[in-house]
């Protein structure tokens, strides 16, 4: 697609509109023919014990998914699909498929049929084997909506967008202008563009040069406005109508403005919970909750976002729904060793020498590098003050981070491995890191624990897991 756009832009700038029309015509014809061929060669069949999917023209692919391997059915609808009342169905089979690839996906089937298929899978998991696709009295299987256990009002949605500051728009524009710089003949992300443009402004250019600080502040304000606006727009598009309902299968999440998704997360597959926050969010009492599961979320993400902006009571309520218990009022927190800070300071101190050398030639650059190193070291010290752990019942709770605060709740029964990891710096301080492996995601870590304490903690966790 980018090649077609680039080629069309080149021919348009060159004034060769016939080539533009030919390129667009051939491209449109190609996409239409490809879509028709894909439609003609794709089919699926719901059998007594499995779902069979056939696809491909030259390389035919025949795939069979037994019902006992299908954990649940995820339904999503884009804007066009909602107009046509069709949906994309993903058959969730766990971690069997490579990341980024669906083992079972049905691109566009009737929404009523998609809901019937999901109910059929759930009935099979409940020990019921219907002879055909189940339907409700209205012709399709829709679950009744009760009181949600978590929902976001539009006001809270906008507030969540304010916390999700993003410069993705700047990144997209910079990439586009850099890609088509030769075709468009201008690039506002290139300083030379503004230098040449300012020469033609006359008195305005003199005013900007005389008040460079005011111009810089205005530029920063513009960046802040665009960043906040981008964050709000992205959040509204993704989480509009966000609600969590408790079902027999687990937690059902529905969200999205233009692309509407309907996903059910089975509780027995949840491995860990992660509560995220930061100094600004924490000051207002907000946090988010993500669940690490054996199944991937939309976009092949390992964590399922279950509460984009929640209070402490709402977070505890969701944790109790999944059987992880609340975390407010816990005691017995143990802070990690101060070597977590000292080792980092030793590793970054040589950069002060780099700052001194640079300061000899460019004083301002040397000062900037030294200040940057000091800020990074101070951030590490603040992170150490917020890095601690405790064992509450059969749960391990780990807090870490300052700017990006994370609280991980890990049931001991889900711990598969517990390794001790040391570096040459940590060995010198007599500390080690405990790396905990769980199924379906990356490992969790407790950094800078005294060696003997780490060994005892490792044995305790493994005994609880068994």
Lowest mean pLDDT: which of 21-30, 270-279, 445-454? Answer: 21-30
Strands lying side by side in the sheet with 61-66: 43-46, 50-55, 61-66
- Per-residue confidence (pLDDT) for residue 442, from 0 to 100: 65
Comparing 6 with 409, which gets the higher pLDDT? 409
105 confidence band (pLDDT: 50, 70, 90):
confident
63 and 202 share a domain? no
Asked if the structure places residue 394 within a domain, the reply is yes
318 and 295 share a domain? yes
pLDDT in tens, 215-261: 677 777 888 888 889 899 999 999 999 999 998 778 999 999 998 99
456 and 344 share a domain? no
437 and 329 share a domain? yes
Asked if the structure places residue 252 within a domain, the reply is no
Cβ–Cβ < 8 Å for 198, 212? no
Asked if the structure places residue 319 within a domain, the reply is yes
Whether residue 416 has pLDDT greater than 70:
yes
Of 221, 238, 255, the residue at which a domain comes to its end is 238
Token readout for 49 is 């014990």
Whether residue 138 has pLDDT greater than 50:
no
Whether residue 300 has pLDDT greater than 60:
no
Cβ–Cβ < 8 Å for 449, 458? no
213-245 core/surface letters (b: 16 or more CB in 10 A; e: else): eeeeeeeeeeeeebbbebbbbebbebbbebbbb
- Evaluate the CA torsion angle 77, 143, 325, 316 in order and state its sign: positive
Specify burial of residue 440 (Cβ count, 10 A radius: 0-12, 13-18, 19+): middle
61 and 135 share a domain? yes
SS (H, E, C) the chain: CHHHHHHHHHHHHCCCHHHHHHHHHHHHHHHHHHHHHHHHCCEEEECCCEEEEEECCCCCEEEEEEHHHCCEEEEEECHHHHHHCEEEEEEECCCCCCCCCCCCEEEEEEHHHHHHHHHHHHHHHCCCCCCCCCCCCCCCCCCCCCCCCEECCHHHHHHHHHHCCCCHHHHHHHHHHHHCHHHHCCCCCCHHHHHHHHCCCCHHHHHHHHCHHHHHHHHHHHHHHHHHHHHHHHHHHHHCCCEEEECCCCEEEEECCCCEEEEEECHHHEEEEEEEECHHHHHHCCEEEEEEECCCCHHHCCEEEEEEEECHHHHHHHHHHCCCCCCCCCCCCEECCCHHHHHHHHHHCHHHHHHHHHHHHCHHHHHHHHHHHHHHHHHHHHHHHCCEEEEECCEEEEEECCCCEEEEEEEHHHCCEEEEECCHHHHHHCEEEEEEECCCCCCEEEEEEEHHHHHHHHHHHHHHHC
What is the domain count for the chain? 5
- Per-residue confidence (pLDDT) for residue 309, from 0 to 100: 95
350 and 218 share a domain? no
Asked if the structure places residue 244 within a domain, the reply is no
> Cα–Cα distance between 150 and 184 in angstroms, integer?
48
- Per-residue confidence (pLDDT) for residue 137, from 0 to 100: 36
397 and 432 share a domain? yes
Asked if the structure places residue 151 within a domain, the reply is no
Of 356, 379, 402, the residue at which a domain comes to its end is 379
pLDDT in tens, 154-163: 999 999 999 9
For residue 184, give the nearest of 172, 192, 176 by alpha carbon: 176
Of 187, 218, 238, the residue at which a domain comes to its end is 238
Provide the whole-model pTM. 0.79
449 confidence band (pLDDT: 50, 70, 90):
very high
Specify burial of residue 427 (Cβ count, 10 A radius: 0-12, 13-18, 19+): exposed
For residue 89, give the nearest of 67, 106, 110 by alpha carbon: 106
302 and 407 share a domain? yes
> Cα–Cα distance between 350 and 162 in angstroms, integer?
38
Phi, psi of 33 (to 5 degrees): -65, -40
Asked if the structure places residue 198 within a domain, the reply is yes
* Segment 452-457 long-range contacts (CB within 8 Å, at least 24 positions apart): 454/420, 455/420, 457/391
Cβ atoms < 10 Å from Cβ of 250? 21
Question: Range of 364's domain?
Answer: 339-379
179 confidence band (pLDDT: 50, 70, 90):
low
- Per-residue confidence (pLDDT) for residue 144, from 0 to 100: 54
Query: Average pLDDT, whole number, for the chain?
Result: 84
Asked if the structure places residue 247 within a domain, the reply is no
Cβ atoms < 10 Å from Cβ of 313? 10
> Cα–Cα distance between 58 and 417 in angstroms, integer?
44
94 and 217 share a domain? no
430 and 393 share a domain? yes
Average pLDDT (125-141) is 50
**Which residue's entry shows tokens 């949600």?**
148
Asked if the structure places residue 258 within a domain, the reply is no
307 and 355 share a domain? no
61 and 137 share a domain? yes
């Amino acid at each position: 697609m980018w090649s077609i756009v680039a080629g069309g832009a080149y021919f348009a700038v060159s004034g060769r509109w016939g080539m533009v029309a030919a390129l667009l015509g051939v491209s449109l014809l190609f996409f239409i023919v490809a879509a028709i061929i894909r439609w003609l060669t794709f089919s699926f069949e719901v059998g007594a014990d499995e779902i069979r999917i056939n696809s491909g023209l030259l390389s035919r692919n025949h795939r069979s998914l037994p019902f006992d391997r299908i954990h649940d059915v995820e339904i999503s609808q884009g804007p066009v699909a909602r107009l046509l009342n069709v949906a994309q169905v993903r058959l969730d089979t766990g971690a069997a498929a490579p990341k980024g690839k669906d083992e079972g996906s049905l691109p566009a089937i009737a929404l009523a049929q998609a809901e019937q298929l999901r109910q059929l899978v759930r009935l099979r998991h409940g020990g019921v084997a219907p002879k055909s696709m189940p339907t409700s009295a209205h012709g399709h299987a829709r679950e009744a909506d009760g009181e949600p256990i978590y929902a976001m009002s539009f006001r809270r949605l906008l507030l969540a967008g304010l916390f999700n500051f993003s410069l993705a728009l700047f990144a997209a524009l910079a990439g586009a202008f850099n890609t088509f710089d030769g075709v468009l003949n201008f690039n506002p992300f290139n300083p030379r563009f503004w230098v040449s443009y300012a020469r033609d402004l006359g008195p305005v250019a003199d005013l900007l040069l005389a008040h460079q600080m005011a111009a810089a502040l205005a530029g920063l304000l513009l960046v802040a406005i665009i960043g906040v606006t981008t964050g709000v727009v992205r959040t509204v598009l993704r989480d509009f109508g966000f609600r969590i309902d408790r079902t027999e299968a687990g937690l059902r999440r529905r969200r999205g403005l233009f692309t509407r998704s309907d996903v059910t997360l089975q509780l027995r597959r949840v491995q860990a919970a992660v509560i995220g926050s930061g100094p600004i969010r924490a000051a207002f009492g907000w946090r988010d909750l993500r669940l690490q599961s054996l199944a991937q979320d939309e976009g092949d993400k390992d964590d399922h976002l279950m509460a984009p902006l929640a209070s402490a009571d709402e977070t505890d309520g969701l944790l109790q729904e999944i059987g992880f218990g609340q975390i407010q009022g816990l005691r017995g927190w143990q802070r990690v060793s101060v070597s977590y800070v000292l080792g980092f300071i030793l590793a970054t101190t040589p950069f002060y020498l780099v700052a001194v050398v640079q300061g000899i030639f460019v004083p301002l650059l040397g000062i900037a590098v030294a200040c940057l190193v000091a800020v990074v070291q101070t951030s590490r010290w603040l992170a150490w003050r917020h890095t601690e752990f405790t064992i509450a019942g059969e749960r391990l709770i780990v807090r870490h981070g300052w700017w990006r605060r994370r609280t991980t709740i890990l049931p001991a029964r889900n711990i598969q491995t517990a390794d001790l990891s040391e570096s040459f710096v940590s060995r010198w301080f007599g500390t080690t890191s405990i790396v905990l492996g769980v199924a379906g995601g990356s490992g969790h870590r407790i950094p800078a624990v005294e060696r003997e304490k780490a060994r005892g903690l490792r044995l305790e966790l493994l005994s609880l897991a068994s």
